[in-house]
């Protein structure tokens, strides 16, 4: 139904690869292109609320797939890392060379842009820039209204805070563009409303 790949043992382990279609479409043409964004399956604006309860020893939970639209793209080559400037207070030239070498061994980021049906920019994101297949998620939100403060950034870097978030987008069709190596690949994605909600257009606009 979802074209996911499910692998299970006879015991207690289950692995799920969400949306197998990029692997099915990774042909010689896609692999030879500088950047290829694969078709994006429809995403749902689920309104989730966390619940905690006990089911005794029979409770089995696993991570859900990333929320929002799954974005999978192939890069022919890794995105070059941005060169970091050496600190003026660096203890020695050897330390400076080591820092520069470390900066060049890590990949840079692909640029992801999302536009609405009126071609208005809704969101810009960084995506992984490794050679080969890469996957990330758009959380179906527009740009955050503010940049993180230094304290928030510190908490984000430590994994304690997601950072400021923008509002959820409206249901509809959007265009996703992935840019790397001076090339761009784009696909359409349909965002669907939570099927449990019944909102009129007026109520949605007011929200």
Query: Could you tell me the pLDDT band of residue 48, with boundaries at 50, 70 and 90?
Result: confident
Percent of the chain with pLDDT over 70: 82
**Banded pLDDT at 57 (limits 50, 70, 90):** low
DSSP assignment of 170-201 equals PSEEEEEEEEETTEEEEEEEEEEE-TT----H
Quick: pLDDT tens for 142-200: 999 888 899 988 998 888 888 888 999 999 999 999 999 899 999 999 999 999 888 88
In 3D, which of 58, 71, 151, 67 has the Cα closest to residue 111? 71
Q: For the whole model, what pTM was predicted? A: 0.80
Higher pLDDT, 130 or 65: 130
């Amino acid at each position: 139904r979802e074209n996911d790949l499910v692998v299970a043992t006879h015991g207690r382990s289950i692995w799920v690869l969400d949306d197998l279609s990029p692997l099915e479409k990774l042909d010689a043409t896609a692999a030879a292109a500088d950047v290829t964004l694969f078709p994006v399956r429809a995403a749902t604006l689920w309104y989730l609320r966390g619940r905690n309860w006990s089911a005794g020893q029979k409770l089995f939970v696993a991570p859900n797939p990333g929320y929002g639209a799954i974005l999978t793209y192939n890069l022919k080559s890794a995105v070059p890392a941005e060169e970091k400037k050496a600190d003026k207070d660096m203890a020695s030239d050897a330390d400076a060379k080591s820092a520069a070498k470390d900066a060049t061994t890590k990949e840079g980021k692909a640029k992801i842009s999302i536009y609405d049906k009126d071609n208005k920019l809704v969101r810009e994101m960084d995506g992984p820039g490794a050679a080969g297949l890469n996957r990330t998620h758009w959380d179906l939100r527009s740009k955050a209204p503010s940049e993180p403060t230094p304290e928030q950034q510190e908490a984000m870097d430590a994994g304690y805070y997601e950072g400021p978030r923008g509002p959820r987008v409206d249901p509809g069709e959007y265009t996703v563009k992935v840019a790397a190596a001076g090339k761009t690949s784009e696909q359409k994605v349909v965002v669907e409303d939570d099927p449990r909600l019944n909102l009129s257009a007026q109520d949605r606009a007011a929200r």
